[in-house]
Structure 1
Amino acid sequence: MQKQLLTHINSPKELRLLKEDELPQLAKELREFIINIVASKEGHLGASLGVVELTIALHYVFKTPEDLLIWDVGHQAYGHKILTNRKNIFDTNRQLDGISGFPKREESEYDAFGVGHSSTSISAALGMAIASKLKGEDKHHIAVIGDASIASGMAFEGLNHAGVTDVNLLVILNDNAIGIDPSVGALKQYLTNVKKGTQRRNNIIEALNIDYSGPIDGHDIQKIITELERLKTVKGPKLLHIITTKGKGLKQAEENQVKYHAPGKFDSSTGEIIFKSTSELPPKYQDVFGHTIVELAKQNDNIVGITPAMPTGSSLKFMMDEIPERAFDVGIAEQHAVTLAAGMATQGLIPFCNIYSTFLQRAYDQVIHDVALQKLPVVFCLDRAGLVGEDGATHHGVFDLAYLRCIPNLIIFAPRNEVDLRNIMYTAQLGLENPIAIRYPRGRGITLDWKQPFSKIEIGTGIQLKEGENLAVLSIGAISKNVTEAIEDFDVAHYDMRFVKPLDEKLLRIIFKNYNTIITVEDGTIKGGFGSAILEFAAEFNYKNPIKVLGVPDDFLEHGKVDELEKLVGLDPRSLNIYIKKLIY
């Protein structure tokens, strides 16, 4: 019986004691280990399976952690984590108080740079390489980046700078023709032509003064090791192009790469996804967006849809399937997505620009300079707003209310439920004179009968949900559900303010006049968010009512299930109930 190798390997030091011909067996065991745990614990699967051989080869050839290894995005770093002292706790991946699903500096000395968003690896590795040169240190700096991420502007900014430096930098292009969804754009076509041998392979990379090698088979571990050993002797910036298959080693993950990016629970022996019945559940907010934009676009020829590399995650895929000429996946390029929308808006189109809340942070200047400053009526649909769960600190959409609220000319709306989301999308395409940001959460809503006839929402108006005495709770967005549950047995009022900007000042005057104490509740940061807007209103008009601001504290929250995180910060129904009870009794 063949002895198990992975059992005895807890760090790269033990890995390097293996003979080279033992490494294919280790790759097989590492794949099985990842599959078995992700099958029951959930997480990102396909990306890590695709780089098993590369991961082993990198730690085998380079002397990590002294040599610095940076993974772009980090979806593909599970094998890296398992080989770097985290094998025995890998089953806590993405769980509350467990290890992160992404590389994280404070978690391990082998995680040279914390990631979660794409296209940062080349700039970070170059910065480290320049630092090593200035300090007179002799070490290697390796950035592993995918073909979807390298198409981003920031990656090319890093390559552009690297080409005029004399530092020890190795960029490994992991080319599998897919990010979360299939890669798009002219660079993808260029890489396809390189792989087919119909393109001069030095066309782009070597023109930037970077030594190019490849493409080579990213699943031939001996070939990778041989090339990495050679590249260790090559001076200056260089790029190795490897070809891999996302999901390698699990048949279903290879054949359905989008679904098996993060498949949820599945049978580790058969690979079949374990589906939960969704027939009696409310829809996901992203699907409400996806179906609604198709419905509106069929009525209004000026509507277009834009997403930066998230057609499946945002459900713009529905429009891309039905009206492909008016739906655009622009790749991992949030800045471009926003300014593209601005350009379209100048010509009378109505662009619905769907970007995850956490990723709009990457296009902040474009929102200000290209959209709001020019009062262009772009419709920003911000998916994954609020606490998003297991992806943790890099992905929580908790800053959008604060970072958008200070921008002039921008309307900010948070739907309480699916019907509100449909109605504000309907309202937005009727001819707004300003841009609008509509932010809604990850996951399912609360309404089974959500596909109701459209009705227009008056901009800047809130609504009363419950009457009461002495105390009023003001909420914004889907967190309203927790408030409703928390105050069910209390004689307190509840208002859904709906708009953070402009605030419904007429309604607020009534509230401050009729209630002694005001509580604001939001699933965003309490610094500069919705509660801050209410405090500013009170200060401006000299209201003296006590105001309690509840929301996400001034800290980076880690990963865990959404309900666990809500409990952690006091936003779950029970915590809200206890807090309000103390105020009224």
Structure 2
Amino acid sequence: MSERPKTPLLDKADTPEELRKLKPEQLPELARELRDEMISAVSVTGGHLGAGLGVVELTVALHYVFDTPNDVLIWDVGHQAYPHKILTGRRDRIRTLRQGGGLSGFTKRSESEYDPFGAAHSSTSISAALGFAVANKLADKPGKAIAVIGDGAMSAGMAYEAMNNAEQAGNRLVVILNDNDMSIAPPVGGLSASLARLVSSRPFLSLRDLAKRLARKLPRPLHDAARKTDEFARGMTMGGTLFEELGFYYVGPIDGHNLDHLIPILENVRDAAEGPILIHVVTQKGKGYAPAEAAADKYHGVQKFDVVSGVQAKAPPGPPSYTGVFANALIAEAKRDETVCAITAAMPSGTGLDKFAATFPDRSFDVGIAEQHAVTFAAGLAAQGYRPFCAIYSTFLQRAYDQVVHDVAIQNLPVRFAIDRAGLVGADGATHAGSFDISYLASLPNFVVMAAADEAELTHMVHTMALHDSGPIAVRYPRGNGTGVAIPETPLQLPIGKGRVIREGKSVAILSLGTRLAEAEKAADQLDALGLSTTVADLRFAKPLDEALIRRLLTTHDVAVTIEEGSIGGLGAHVLTLASDEGLIDGGLKLRTLRLPDVFQDHDKPEKQYEDAGLDAEAIVATVLAALRRNNVGVIEGARA
């Protein structure tokens, strides 16, 4: 790691108010120092790098021109907001990013008044900004609402739903389209910037407003022709016809790294009576740091790294990741069966489907940030006899729940859901935790819901999914590496709804779902040492339950504990319902459930998160001992010593 950079100008600009005291000609140097400070900080903490580097000049310009926080600035997703955090009074804590007790890796309302809206999922910024803008309009307040949205986020339908409704906000809404891979416009230069400055200027907008008012007095056909002529003329020279049709006044494209272009255009927009306005800004991911410019994908999210060389710290060698195991298992299934195909929603590398796509490009589909479409697209494929695997993070699958219910479950279509990042996710915190998928899937008729305890089990479950044609089926697995077990060369088809007993005892039964199985076995060792003979079962299925196994364990043991990496309403709730319906707890059985607490847990190391959640071996042992000390018989969820 290198020494911290010298930042004399940045030292004077700890807040936007201080930033605005600088002269315009000082801003390029400030941006350089801000970029150096961000690189230095992320080299220590790890986190998102490329996206933030791409918006350094834009961040400086926005806070310089607009009256933040009175004018609200909303960053879509929020992973590009590290420079924003440095400029809004949080520089002294920037090296605590994504660490326990430190700054969030995303915007967060409780962290700063400069974060008016929390974000970590994509494509929400325009809707939220519209809410702020309309509220100001209703209250007759002058404040602007500025949404900064990346072009990747524009693949989600929610962005267009918001834009279609945006005219109600009037001139209080400004949308910055951060086009950071030139997918919308070619590189821009001085002529484009001059045009953008001209059409955003007050004289031009005033003249245009006058022309519009005069045109309204013309007969309707002439009025419509005048409006279309204006839009066509600017569309031919500048683009943006789509945005004009959605009710926005389009300005751009402009160079997002040129402050001499950005500042006057933003000032024009700030003072404009016209609105809402969309500014198309072209930026480069990783700008100003050569390794990130050369490999934007590898430097989107990084481990700790050496600033000079750009070399990222490597994790010590160990077992393969669950994501990698899934990808390899799916490739093997696709080699056996030409109807197997794969769908992801803008996360090919995150879900491992980039490997699948390299082998089967015609059977791999990245639909962009469009989870709703991904699920219904998969349903259509399934209806035609294909075997689609829809690989989506647990937290993102929440966005497509109606499609899961309506388009898949009700029609009993055999869509295969590969649910990555199930359970707690460490540094990404509450916004990315896969806490709820067991609850929201196992409550649906026709669904099969599995959870892999290790890499071998995941391989078996992928094979089981491929062969399951009688309805929807899902497997959940966590972020990170496996346990190191051998991966089977020939996977097994698991009988649906059947668990397995790992070790047999007489007094205590631990019923595990998912990768807490290792902690269950540790707890069993400790309980056996205390003279409490312990059974450990891997239920494998949250739905359908292995009722025969559960019935046997509940009727032959004094204490039973369920454990899962999910919220209330999951496995424990289903076991409790079975026990209640069949009167299994009437004879004195003590049944307890361990699951994630009813809170949104902040970012921290995963092992610390699970310890805080009470889902480690010590918590299992404490729960059993507390249950045995009680004289009453009944159900007490989540007992602790």
Task: Select which of 3, 16, 25 maps to 1:12.
Answer: 16
Which residue in the other structure is 1:538 paired with?
579
The answer for the alignment partner of 2:197 in structure 1 is none
Q: Which moved more, 1:466-475 or 1:571-580?
A: 571-580
> Of residues 530, 542, 547 in structure 2, which corresponds to 1:505?
547
In structure 1, the partner of 2:634 is: none
**Letter of the aligned partner of 2:59 in structure 1?**
T
Q: Does 1:394 align with 2:431?
A: yes
- CA–CA separation in structure 2 for the residues paired with 1:195 and 1:347: 45
Q: Which is higher, the Rg of structure 1 or of structure 2?
A: 2
Spell out the pairing of 1:266-415 with structure 2 (5 A cutoff). Answer: 266-278=305-317, 281-415=318-452
Give the deviation of 1:87 after TM superposition: 0.6
Please say if residues 53 and 220 of structure 1, whose CA atoms lie closer than 8 Å, have aligned partners that are also in contact.
yes
Match of 1:183 in 2: none
Gaps of 5+ in 1: 179-187
Kept after mapping to 2: 8 A contact 1:193/1:199: no
CA distance in 1, matches of 2:157, 2:393: 18
Q: Greater helix share, 1 or 2?
A: 2
Query: C-alpha separation between the residues in 2 aligned to 1:524 and 1:547?
Result: 18
Tell me by how many angstroms 1:449 deviates: 2.2
Give how far 1:108 is off: 0.6
Q: 518, 537, 559: which one pairs with 2:560?
A: 518
Q: Distance in 2 between matches of 1:401 and 1:195?
A: 48
| Paired residue total | 571
- Given the alignment of the two structures, is residue 554 of structure 1 paired with residue 598 of structure 2, yes or no? yes
Query: Is the 8 Å Cα contact of residues 185 and 253 (structure 2) preserved in structure 1?
Result: no
In the alignment, structure 2 segments of 5+ residues that lack a partner are 193-235, 630-641
Residues 405, 501 of structure 1: 8 Å contact kept: yes
Distance in 2 between residues matched to 1:540 and 1:399, nearest whole Å: 24
Match runs of 1:144-155 below 5 Å: 144-155=148-159
Which amino acid is 1:559 matched to? H
After alignment, is 398-407 or 114-123 more displaced? Answer: 398-407
Alignment match, 1:245: 284
* Cα deviation, residue 199, structure 1: 8.8
Residues 86-101 of structure 1: pairs in structure 2 closer than 5 A? 86-101=90-105
What residue identity is the alignment partner of 1:51?
Answer: V
Identical residues among aligned pairs (%): 46
Residues 26, 434 of structure 1: alpha-carbon distance in 2 compared, 3 angstrom cutoff: same
Q: Please report the TM-score for the alignment, with normalisation by the length of structure 2.
A: 0.87
CA-CA distance at 1:295 after TM superposition: 1.1
Matched AA of 1:241: H
Conserved 8 A contact 1:123-1:158: yes
Deviation readout 1:37-94 (Å, 9 max, x if unpaired): 1112111111111100001111110111010110000010001111111110111111
Give the alignment of 1:384-463 within 5 angstroms: 384-463=421-500
Could you say what the CA RMSD is over the residues aligned between the two structures, in angstroms? 1.8
The code of the aligned residue for 1:203 comes to T
* Gap change, CA 1:7 and 1:468, over 3 Å in 2: same
Aligned residue number for residue 214 of structure 1: 252
* 1:250 to 1:577, Cα distance in 2 relative to 1, 3 A: farther
Write the letter of the residue equivalent to 2:242: I
Residue 584 of structure 1 deviates from its aligned partner by 5.8
In the alignment, residue 433 of structure 2 is paired with which amino acid?
H
Q: Partner letter of residue 26 of structure 1?
A: L
Assess if the C-alpha contact under 8 Å between 1:303 and 1:326 holds in 2.
yes
1:513 offset after TM fit, Å?
A: 1.3
Structure 2 residue 566 is matched with structure 1 residue 528:
no
Aligned residue type for 2:267: E
Residue 275 of structure 1 aligns to a residue in which SS? coil
| CA distance in structure 2 between the partners assigned to 1:561 and 1:524 by the alignment | 17
Give the 3 Å change call, closer, same or farther, for CA 415–324 of structure 1 in structure 2. Answer: same
**Paired amino acid for 1:108:** S
Once residues 260 and 484 of structure 2 are traced to their aligned partners in structure 1, the CA distance between those partners, rounded to angstroms, is 55
Paired residues of 1:130 and 1:167 also in contact (CA < 8 A): no
Deviation sequence 1:152-210 (CA, Å, 0-9, x none): 100010111114553410000111129xxxxxxxxx4xx14696999961321112121
Structure 1 distance, partners of 2:275, 2:12, is 36
**Structure 1 stretch displaced more, 44-53 or 485-494:** 485-494
Q: Is the partner of 2:239 in helix, strand or coil? A: coil
* Deviation digits for residues 473-500 of structure 1 (CA, Å, limit 9, x no counterpart): 1110111112112222422111111101
Alignment check: 8 A CA contact 2:177 2:278 kept: yes
